[in-house]
Structure 1
C-alpha cells in the first residue's frame, strides 16, 4: 500500500514523522509524496497558532481531494488539544494525539478491518515515560535531529504547547547515544538536539543527568563533527552552565535563545521568568568566550498590553543584542491560554505594522552580522544545490547560510573551510579552501 506524510510545525514533529514513516516502510509500505495518490495519508499537525490549525485542515482537504477513498490519519498537537474539533472535520478516519504514536500501524490495521473511525487521544497531562520513536535516517541528508525530551511546564501565558505535549519526560542517555551512533555511522555529521523544552532535560530522571551531560557524551562519538542546539530558555543559562557549555569544542557557536519581548512589563505578562537585564548578561558572558557567536531568537509583537513604548523598547533591545536572525510572530490569541482574553488587545493593523518594522530591523542586523565575516574563514556543511544556479549551499557553525561555486570535487554532506568574499542580508558567498 502507498502512504504519504505531511508535517507542520517544529523539528520535533519532523523527527516524529520520520520515525513513523520508517515503521511503515519496514512493514513494506511504499512512501510517496503527499501530492501523489496514496492509500493512507498521515498528517502530523501543529497548533501553536490559529494559522497552524487552518493549515492542518487544508492538508486534510488536499489529501481527500487527491485520493477520495484514502484513509486519513491526523496526529499531533492539534487533535491533542482540540480532539472534538478534529473529529468533526470531514474525511478524518484516525485521530491520534501526542502519545501512542507507535500504535498508528495498529490503528491503520484495525481501521482496514472495521472501517470505523478511531479516536485515540490520551488527555492526561502527566506522562509516565518517554515514548521511544527511533530513526536510522533522515529526510535531510546532512543534518540529523535527535529528540531528547518531551513536554513543557513553563506555561507561558500565550502558549498552548504545555497542554498539547504534557509534562516533561526525558529520554535515557543510553538511548540518545545509541541513536547518534547509528546515524553517525550512516554518514550524518551534524546533530541538532531538539525537544519541546530541552533546557528541562533530566529534571524527571531518577539519576542526575542534564542537557550538558548529553552534549558532552555525544561529543565523545568520533564521527560526530558538529552539535547544534534548538531553542534554549534563558532561565537555564546561569554562569556555571555557560562556562561548561562554551568548553565543548564540537558545539556550534549558535544559540537560539528565546526572548519574546524586549519589555520587562510584557515579559511579566507573558509569564517569562527573566528580565531583559538578565538576558543581556547572558549574551555578554557568552560573547566573552565566543567572539563569532550567533544569537537567534523569537519575538512576539502585539501582545495584549504592548504599548508603543513597549514595542520601541523591544526594537532598541534587539539592536543592542545584535541578533543574527529574528523570527517575528504577530500575537495570535489561542483559546485555552491565559492571554486569549487578556485586556488591552492590540489591533490586527497595529500588529502588522509592528511586525514589518521589526522584520526590517532584523534584516539590517542579519546583514551587519554577515558583513563582519567578509575576508574570514568559516566551516560550512554543504547541504544541497542552491537555488542560485552554479552554487552549492550550506550553513556555517554559527548558522550563516553560505554559497560556494559548484565544482565536481565538492561533496554534499562534507564540511569545508570557506573564505567569505561578500555578504548579503540572507546569505554570504565564499570560496572553499582546499
Structure 2
C-alpha cells in the first residue's frame, strides 16, 4: 500500500505497569528472556515489498479520530494525541489477551487480527528507515528526518512470563524482554535512561517510581524530528491576533509563507498540507467554528478530504508557532469506543502474558503525555502512553489565503502508509 501521509513526532509510548498483590524474590540484573530474532527488512524490501494491511491503518486512524473527538468534548485546552502510540501499545497487549478481551480490543481497533503483528512490524521497519542521510540538493548528505522506534518489556524477576508472548514482542516489535527488580529504587533510573536515550533526551523522568508489587512494563518509544520542505522565513513572523473560541483574542507569533501545497476546500473547511521530507502536517481550518465541525458528519470524512487534496501553487499561509504539553487519561475514552473488558478485574483475560491464578491481571489505568513544538524550521513532538495493569484478587485557481487565526485541528501522517501519527487541536497557541 502506498499512500500520502505525514509524520512529525517524537512519540514515546510507555505501555504497562502491572501491579500485583503477589510478592516475589528478585535481583537487580536484567536478563534477556527471548532468543527470537526481529523480522528486519532490507532497504530494497522496504522500498519494493512493504505490505501493510490498509484495513489496519484505516482502523488505527479511525480510532484516533474517535478518541480525539472524545477528548475534545471534555476539554477546552490544546490537545495532542498519538493514535500510533496508543495503537502500538494495544497491539502489543493483544498478544497477551484471550477470548472476549481480545475480541473487544480487535473490534475497538477495527483491526484484522491475522495481519496485526505483521502490520506493526512493517511500520517499525519503515519508520526506522527514514533516518538515513540523503542529498536534498545541497550536494551534501544530511538527515532531514530523524525517526527512531524502539520497544522493550521489563518483568519482575520471579514472574513466569509466557514464552509465546515475549517471543512475539521480539519477533514483530523488536522488544527486548528483561527481568529486573522493581523493589530496587535504581530500577526506574535504568528504565528512564533507556527511554531518554531512545527519545533524544526529550522524555525524562517518565517513571516516577517502581514498587515491589509491580509485575511488568512494556515500553515503546517513537521519536521524530522533521524539517519543513519549505521553511517559513523567520523575518516574516510577526505578532498577530488569534481569535479564541470564547470570543476573546490572544497575541501570537504568526509565521507567513507563500507556498505551493496540497490543498482542499469545501463549504465547511480548508485543508492545507505542510510537507516535511517523509511526512505531512495536514491543517484543517473550519470556516465557522471547530466545535460545530467536530460535531458534524464531515468530521468522519477527514481522511477522505485529505486524500482529495490537490496541488495549489499560490497559497498565502499564516500559521502560528506553538509549543505545548498535556496529559490525558484514556480509560473512559477507550471505554467509549468499546474497549472495556481490559479494565474489569473480573472479566479481563490477559492470561497469555502470565498466569497469575488464582489472581487475575487487568488494566487499571491508561494515560498519554504529549509534547509538541512547531516553528519556522520544522516540528518535534513526543508522546508517552502508559498502560498500568494490576493483579486481582475541487481546488481554486486563484490565490488562496489560509489564515490560522482561530482554533484549528491538525493531523500528522506518515507519507508512505497513511498512518496518523499525531492528531492535535490548537485552541490557544
Common topology (TM > 0.5): no
Structure 2 length-normalised TM: 0.24
| Higher share in helix | 1
Structure 1-normalised TM-score?
0.24
Choose between structure 1 and 2 for higher RCO, CA contacts under 8 A separated by at least 6 residues: 2
Q: Which has the higher strand share?
A: 2
